[in-house]
Structure 1
Amino acid sequence: MNTIARRAYNLCRSPSLLPVQGVKSVSGEHQIQQCRGIRVRVHNGNLEQALKFMQRKMQSSGIERQIKNLQTRHVKNSEKRVLARKKLQRRIQSQELAHRIKVILADKASNKLLCDASSLLWFTFSGWLPVEVSC
């Protein structure tokens, strides 16, 4: 939890989020960029509850996702290839599942799926399984 809090603090302290000095806008005034941050009150010294509340706020606001996406170390080319291959496999699997669901819904809409069939094939992550259906 300390590393997440530290990275959130560093994210807010990054130069791109601090007020811009010397840069003038069209109206001639200085531009000030807002710093995103989370403030949490600690009631009655209950630090655990405050940390849980802070974590929920970070997840809902998307700061935690930004922190995880920050590159904090060098990623080797071989590791990049592995990550890219896994990402591609997830995308292809998702597209195949969406296509199968689309076909099933299209068949159901055109009454090709009969309710009096003794068993239908339903897709699961382990493959096609026969499932008893009663209409």
Structure 2
Amino acid sequence: MNSVARRLSSLFRHSGFTIEPFNNGHHQMQQLQQCRGIRVRVLNGNLEAALGLMQRKMQSSGIERMIKQEQRFHIKNSEKRVLARKNLERRLRSEDLAKKLKIIMIKKVRSGHSKTVDNGPQIGGSNNILRLRTTTRTIICSAAVPA
């Protein structure tokens, strides 16, 4: 949390729009940046509670995500490889979970454990069409009744 607080100090120094130098290798650029602020009261001298409240407010407003995404310095190739490996592992775990959930849903539908909703008389028979659509993170199951 100290690193987040240090990064925030540059964002919250001035209110409104500020022009702040941006160090990009050997080049100095001027960057127009809008600053946003979060105010937290310290009650009864309890700084830990105030810092916790500030962190929750930062997470909910998206400032923490914005700070973490900001890249000001060079990332070494070894760090890039580690980040790429972690992203690949996360994606593979997500795809494996999606496959497992799809298999479970298909087995559940085939065994007849799915709940049916009585919508009254149906035209065109009582054949329900089940569509399974998978994404990398979720499985969406929808049942459609042909009209």
Which of the five TM-score ranges fits, normalised by the shorter chain?
A: 0.5 to 0.7
How many residues were matched structurally?
99
State the distance in 2 between where 1:69 and 1:93 align.
23
When the two chains are superposed, the root-mean-square deviation of aligned CA atoms in Å is: 2.8
Amino acid at match of 2:10: N
1:49: Cα distance to partner? 1.9
Calculate the TM-score normalised by the size of structure 1.
0.59
1:19: Cα distance to partner? 6.2
Instruction: Tell me which protein shows more strand as a share of its residues.
Output: 2
* CA spacing shift, 1:76–1:108, aligned 2, 3 Å: same
Calculate the TM-score normalised by the size of structure 2.
0.55
Paired residue for 1:89?
89
Q: Work out whether 1:107 is the aligned partner of 2:131.
A: no
* CA spacing shift, 1:72–1:93, aligned 2, 3 Å: same
| Structure 1: unaligned runs, 5 residues or longer | 21-32, 114-135
State the distance in 2 between where 1:47 and 1:90 align.
36
Amino acid at match of 1:98: A
Asked if the contact 1:8–1:63 (Cα under 8 Å) also holds between the matched residues in 2, the reply is no
| Structure 2: unaligned runs, 5 residues or longer | 20-32, 114-147
